[in-house]
Amino acid sequence: MIGKLVASMSLTMVLVFGLLFALLAGLGLYFNIGIYAMVGLAIILGLIQWAIGPAIVRWSTNMKPLEKDEFPWLEEAVHEICIKNKAKIPKITIANTGMPNAFVFGRTNKSATLTLTRGLLNTLTKDEVKGVIAHEIGHIKHNDMVVMTIVSVIPTIAYFIAISTMFSRSRNQGGGAVLIGIGAFVVYFITNLLIMYFSRLREYYADNFAGHQVRPTLLASGLAKITYGLSLQKQEVKNSTLRSFYAVDPVASSYEVLKFSSYYADQHISEEEVEKAMDWERKSSFSKFGEIFRTHPLTFKRIEKLYELERQLSTEN
């Protein structure tokens, strides 16, 4: 099953970097810069992103290391799931924000950091939090977080090239620079779509991994509380790139079922309320079309797959 994710990671890397190299080749040809120099520049930019990415995440999130004996059950849950699946145990940090969410990041799976927010610990039950933890460890086990760290810089490079060439004040560049700028915008758009598709796919695999560590319905309940609960307020993320690393996109989720926000004021979401929200999402044409521009799948799809996994595992047992 994991083969499809590995194939998607490989294809995403090839296509995204292929488009970047094509763009840099055109840029090098126009400005009479050697192709090897441009390829070298792309590699250097990728390595810089890989090297400083974790520092950027730490800077953009108000996190601190988990204090000894602060949440002993958290450490126990992380150690248990990692040891069971032969995954490297990550560092654990707590983000001081009321927004319920979680994410992992790092240069490699051996240097991963797992971050849980205060909002998550205050909103979800212990068993639901364990489901979210298992989901995040799934990203470590699959190593997809490293791919996301590397490829997420490519659209930014393309956008920078587009702005620099199209709106340069130099009069000597002519129409060629405009064409390169338009090409860069196209690369920016396409690479964004590719990365978002891969991001959505990896969430399904992390959900499936978590569903084999805890009861799938526990993660489904946690996702419902995070997503549908976040419809209470619009969430702002300091680093927009970080959105793809969260268990649930904090920005998109705040709009996902805003119509039902009054149902979730107490953060105690019944199965009936979840079904209403899922049914609304299922029938919403806007949600279905907008999904291609999202870093995460629509929550109702994730919950349905977890319910399906629950039935499958029950049948097998």
- pLDDT tens, residue order, the chain (317 aa): 677 777 877 888 788 878 877 777 777 777 777 666 766 776 777 778 778 878 877 887 788 999 888 899 999 999 999 999 999 999 999 998 888 889 998 888 888 999 999 989 988 999 999 999 999 999 999 999 888 877 887 887 888 778 777 766 554 555 677 788 888 888 889 988 998 899 999 999 999 999 999 999 999 989 888 876 555 545 545 545 555 556 666 655 555 555 444 444 544 555 666 666 666 666 666 666 678 888 888 888 888 899 899 999 998 86
Residue 155 CA, distance from chain mean position: 15
| The pLDDT value given to residue 259 | 46
| The pLDDT value given to residue 277 | 62
CA-CA distance, 192 to 67, in Å (whole number)?
38
Range of the domain at 169: 2-316
| The pLDDT value given to residue 10 | 81
Active site residue 136: yes
Per the structure block, which two tokens stand in for 98? 């009321």
- Cβ burial, residue 91 (10 Å; 0-12/13-18/19+): middle
Alpha helices in 230-284 (DSSP H): 252-256, 271-283
| The pLDDT value given to residue 141 | 94
| The pLDDT value given to residue 163 | 79
Exposure pattern of 278-307 as b/e (b: 16+ CB <10 Å)? beebeebeebeeebeebbbbbbbbbbebbe
CA-CA distance, 2 to 295, in Å (whole number)?
20
The total of structural domains in the chain comes to 1
> Are the C-beta atoms of 247 and 102 separated by less than 8 Å?
yes
Nearest 10 degrees: Cα torsion 245, 250, 252, 253: 120
Count the alpha carbons within 13 Å of 289 in the hemisphere toward its beta carbon. 3
CA-CA distance, 257 to 278, in Å (whole number)?
9
Left if phi > 0, otherwise alpha if psi is -120 to 50, otherwise beta: which for 94? beta
CA-CA distance, 116 to 40, in Å (whole number)?
37
pTM of the complete model: 0.81
Tell me the torsion sign for CA atoms 176, 182, 186, 188.
positive
Which tens digits make up the pLDDT trace of 252-284? 555 555 544 444 454 455 566 666 666 666 666
Active-site residue, selected from the candidate residues 128, 136, 203, 281: 136
